Chains A and B, each alone.
Chain A
Amino acid sequence: MTDAFEITVDGRPVPVTAGQTVGAALHAAGIRSWRATRFGGRPRGLFCGIGVCFDCLVTVNGRPPERACLLQARPGDEVTTS
């Protein structure tokens, strides 16, 4: 289970260990924020890490925002940040 693959974040490759979530892969790669809040434009990334807070919402493969901390990364996933 140590298969490694890549996903992209705004076109830039990010390594993933199989089984990791999109949020964990981003965080591990030093990408700690991937969206901005509606009013204050404040940066947000992982906070609760278990699907409760919704801070880590992320767009993957053009789908509506999902919680990065729950979403298993799959090879070739394209993450876009805002």
Chain B
Amino acid sequence: MTRVHDLAVVGGGPAGVAGALTAALAGLSVVLVDSGARLGGQYFRHPAGAHPGTPGFDRFRRQARALAGRADLLLGHQVWAVERRAADAADAADAADAADAADASAALTRDGGHDSAFTLRCTAPDGSPVAVRSRRLLLATGAYDRPLPFPGWDLPGVLTAGGAQALLKGNGVVAGRRIVVAGTGPFLLPVAAGLAGAGARVLGVYEAGGGLGLARHPLLAAGKAGEAAGYALALARHRVPYRTRQAVVAAHGERELEAVTVARLDRDWNVLSTRRLACDTLATGYGFVPQIDLGVQVGCRTRADLDGSPVLDVDDRQRTSVPGVWAAGEPAGVGGRHLAELEGRIAGLTISAPGDPVPGVLARRRDRLQAFARALLEAYPIGPGWQRWLRDDTLVCRCEEVPLARIREARELGATDVRAVKLLSRAGMGWCQGRVCGHAVARLTGAPVGEPRRPLAQPVTLGALAALTSARVETAAQDPAGVLDPAPPPDPTGPPAPTDPPAPTDPPAPKDPPAPTDPPAPSDPSAPSDPSAPTDPPTPSDPPAPAGPPGPQGPSEPTRIPGETGTEAGDDSSAASTADGKDSA
């Protein structure tokens, strides 16, 4: 059964789920693919069967459950490539499949020019290849942490902020006993509050930027006073110092982390003075890198976001430059989970009803959230001085163990762009394909952060490549029950698929890991309530958004998604909440 869905969604975080649900409610056949065992992405990551206490989770869970009955969910599936072929090929393939042919052509017609067809190449949990075919594609692949290199950053015990958060939220594991949180951006706050609330001794939060301190945190200016106050309270309760213009500039230890060097910085992040702090764990992050590999593979145009990161260029309908491909959430620009969900909904609407305008209420809310996201990005630029934290032997590329000296050498040999530096030094050629060091290498090279060109978004076996001509086509694992905790998709035994469509000529490109959707910004105001109880239900309050009520009466909201009754304590709701970030306690 070569099923061709109307829409394939990559990513099961807030954007992907909202987009998939909106489209499914409009009558489209939808398949959602995510590498995680449960829906949620990074922001709503949670252990099986548990409520993570993340603000907004109840609402998300309603949406996820509603989606489970209306779409096919392929969890635990890693998408390693996407192929696009012209409508003719799609039709030909469809023709071979009588069952689907009729609705396929109907959908193509309906789609007003967006007549493409896509094949997602995936690896199932048991390692077998799965091909997912669809007429349209929504990329909601999230983002991941952007670390900066410094001496000792590869010692075990040094984690990204998101990594520490994932351990806590997804696994119930507190990353260490004596933890330092350092980097830049609002995400540091929920990470520190969560760790402290879970019992770790958080020795300090070192924000390299700012200069204003918590009392004048940019979250306040952005109308997120409740949120900022919540973190301030949580940190105060656990006596966690929050210091701006300070950073961890070195990590020390033999086999694992034993101490860090904390430095006071000037406004350009040059070191003014240092001190040593004994600790067993460091959680660090300097913003996020949107995951856009799949979009680049399929030819979507990118633009440089305010922080220089390439993101997929979308129009006000969330369409990328490639017909049939939409993007929502972080891949279209880091903005937090509220914006991600909203963009997902808008994408779902415009995918289902290509001719209809985007409802004004949604468009206005999106504009507001995007403005907030831009303000945060501008509030946390990366200062140039970090490059002087490195020594000649400091690894820049962890995978290929390329020290700063080799990058300098490459530049001396004449390399002026990232690609040339990579060829000469091997930086970015290892397992992670430059995802971790890409930003740093670009900065050290003095070149723009280019768009990622990765023919394989995930590692894939030669066997899977060889099987390309006979991959089985996805047999949707409907997940009746809980999307949130579905049992691992069964399939392994699924019938080998009847071959794949002939066409795909294009070599699969590389790509990115699907899942993570979320990291944006700071977070949700949960309440000042007790972060110590990670399980607390979200408390009320998302501060009503700054900007005014959603439009003078916007029609009531267009398409309501099930989760949306506004009743949830707060979070969600209406308007405005804002961007937010990753998580919170």
Which chain B residues lie closer than 8 Å to A24 at the CB level? 167, 170-171, 173
In contact, B35 and A53 (Cβ under 8 angstroms)? no
In contact, B163 and A48 (Cβ under 8 angstroms)? yes
Bound form: Cα–Cα A51–B162 in Å: 11
- Interface band, chain A: 20 to 34
Bound form: Cα–Cα A48–B284 in Å: 10
Q: 1/0 per residue A63-82: CB within 8 Å of B?
A: 00000011010000000000
Closest A residue to B142 using CB positions:
A50
Is B432's CB within 8 Å of the partner chain A? Answer: yes
In contact, B48 and A55 (Cβ under 8 angstroms)? no
Query: Could you say which of B175, B435, B488 contacts A52, with CB atoms under 8 Å apart?
Result: B435
Which chain A residues lie closer than 8 Å to B42 at the CB level? 50
Bound form: Cα–Cα A37–B42 in Å: 28
Query: Could you say which of B160, B255, B256 contacts A48, with CB atoms under 8 Å apart?
Result: B160
Q: 1/0 per residue B210-226: CB within 8 Å of A?
A: 00000000000000000
Is B401's CB within 8 Å of the partner chain A? Answer: yes
Asked, given contacts A50-B516, A52-B144, whether A42 binds B166 with beta carbons under 8 Å apart, the answer is: no
In contact, A54 and B401 (Cβ under 8 angstroms)? no
In contact, B513 and A51 (Cβ under 8 angstroms)? yes
- Contacting residues of chain B (463-509) with chain A, CB-CB under 8 angstroms: 485, 488
Is B37's CB within 8 Å of the partner chain A? Answer: yes
Bound form: Cα–Cα A28–B35 in Å: 23
In contact, B156 and A44 (Cβ under 8 angstroms)? yes
In contact, B47 and A27 (Cβ under 8 angstroms)? no
Bound form: Cα–Cα A49–B37 in Å: 15
Which chain A residues lie closer than 8 Å to B155 at the CB level? 43
Which chain A residues lie closer than 8 Å to B436 at the CB level? 47-48, 52-53
Asked, given contacts A1-B47, A42-B401, A46-B159, whether A52 binds B513 with beta carbons under 8 Å apart, the answer is: yes
Is A8's CB within 8 Å of the partner chain B? Answer: no
Is B398's CB within 8 Å of the partner chain A? Answer: yes
In contact, A27 and B173 (Cβ under 8 angstroms)? yes
How far in angstroms is the closest Cβ of chain A from B563?
Answer: 23
Which chain A residues lie closer than 8 Å to B165 at the CB level? 49
Asked, given contacts A27-B173, A55-B398, whether A47 binds B159 with beta carbons under 8 Å apart, the answer is: yes
Is B49's CB within 8 Å of the partner chain A? Answer: yes
Q: 1/0 per residue A1-24: CB within 8 Å of B?
A: 100000000000000011111001
Query: Could you say which of A1, A20, A32, A48 contacts B145, with CB atoms under 8 Å apart?
Result: A48
Is B98's CB within 8 Å of the partner chain A? Answer: no
Is B172's CB within 8 Å of the partner chain A? Answer: yes
Is B207's CB within 8 Å of the partner chain A? Answer: no
Which chain A residues lie closer than 8 Å to B432 at the CB level? 52-54
Is A40's CB within 8 Å of the partner chain B? Answer: yes
Which chain A residues lie closer than 8 Å to B398 at the CB level? 47, 53, 55
Which chain B residues lie closer than 8 Å to A38 at the CB level? 401
Which chain B residues lie closer than 8 Å to A42 at the CB level? 154, 401
In contact, B48 and A32 (Cβ under 8 angstroms)? no
How far in angstroms is the closest Cβ of chain B from A69?
Answer: 7
Q: 1/0 per residue B144-183: CB within 8 Å of A?
A: 1101000000111111101111110011110100000000
Which chain B residues lie closer than 8 Å to A52 at the CB level? 144-145, 432, 435-436, 513, 516
Which chain B residues lie closer than 8 Å to A47 at the CB level? 154, 158-160, 163, 398, 436
In contact, A28 and B399 (Cβ under 8 angstroms)? no
Query: Could you say which of B166, B255, B256, B401 contacts A49, with CB atoms under 8 Å apart?
Result: B166
Which chain A residues lie closer than 8 Å to B255 at the CB level? 33, 43
Chain B's interface: helix, strand, loop or mixed, by majority? loop
Which chain A residues lie closer than 8 Å to B37 at the CB level? 19, 72
Bound form: Cα–Cα A54–B144 in Å: 13
Closest B residue to A3 using CB positions:
B48
In contact, B160 and A20 (Cβ under 8 angstroms)? no
In contact, A69 and B156 (Cβ under 8 angstroms)? no
Which chain B residues lie closer than 8 Å to A20 at the CB level? 47, 171-173
Bound form: Cα–Cα A15–B171 in Å: 13
Asked, given contacts A38-B401, A47-B160, A54-B432, whether A27 binds B167 with beta carbons under 8 Å apart, the answer is: yes
Asked, given contacts A33-B256, A70-B35, whether A48 binds B144 with beta carbons under 8 Å apart, the answer is: yes
How far in angstroms is the closest Cβ of chain A from B581?
Answer: 15
In contact, B162 and A33 (Cβ under 8 angstroms)? no
In contact, A19 and B256 (Cβ under 8 angstroms)? no
Asked, given contacts A37-B401, A47-B160, whether A1 binds B256 with beta carbons under 8 Å apart, the answer is: no
Query: Could you say which of A17, A45, A50, A72 contacts B166, with CB atoms under 8 Å apart?
Result: A50
Bound form: Cα–Cα A1–B38 in Å: 14
How far in angstroms is the closest Cβ of chain B from A32?
Answer: 4
In contact, B49 and A46 (Cβ under 8 angstroms)? no
Closest A residue to B163 using CB positions:
A49
Which chain A residues lie closer than 8 Å to B256 at the CB level? 32-33, 43, 45
How far in angstroms is the closest Cβ of chain A from B405?
Answer: 14
In contact, B430 and A54 (Cβ under 8 angstroms)? yes
Bound form: Cα–Cα A33–B48 in Å: 26
Which chain A residues lie closer than 8 Å to B144 at the CB level? 48, 50, 52
Which chain A residues lie closer than 8 Å to B172 at the CB level? 17, 20
Asked, given contacts A33-B255, A33-B256, whether A51 binds B157 with beta carbons under 8 Å apart, the answer is: no
Closest B residue to A45 using CB positions:
B156
Is A58's CB within 8 Å of the partner chain B? Answer: no
Is A60's CB within 8 Å of the partner chain B? Answer: no
How far in angstroms is the closest Cβ of chain B from A17?
Answer: 6
Which chain A residues lie closer than 8 Å to B157 at the CB level? 32
Which chain A residues lie closer than 8 Å to B147 at the CB level? 48
Which chain A residues lie closer than 8 Å to B170 at the CB level? 21, 24
* 18 intermolecular pairs with C-beta atoms under 8 Å apart: A1-B50, A18-B48, A37-B401, A43-B155, A44-B154, A45-B156, A47-B163, A48-B159, A48-B163, A50-B162, A50-B516, A52-B144, A52-B145, A53-B435, A54-B399, A54-B430, A54-B431, A72-B37
- Leading 3 A-B pairs by shortest Cβ distance: A49-B163, A54-B431, A24-B171
Q: A37-B401, A49-B160, A51-B515 provided; 6 other pairs, C-beta below 8 A?
A: A18-B48, A32-B256, A46-B167, A47-B160, A51-B35, A51-B516
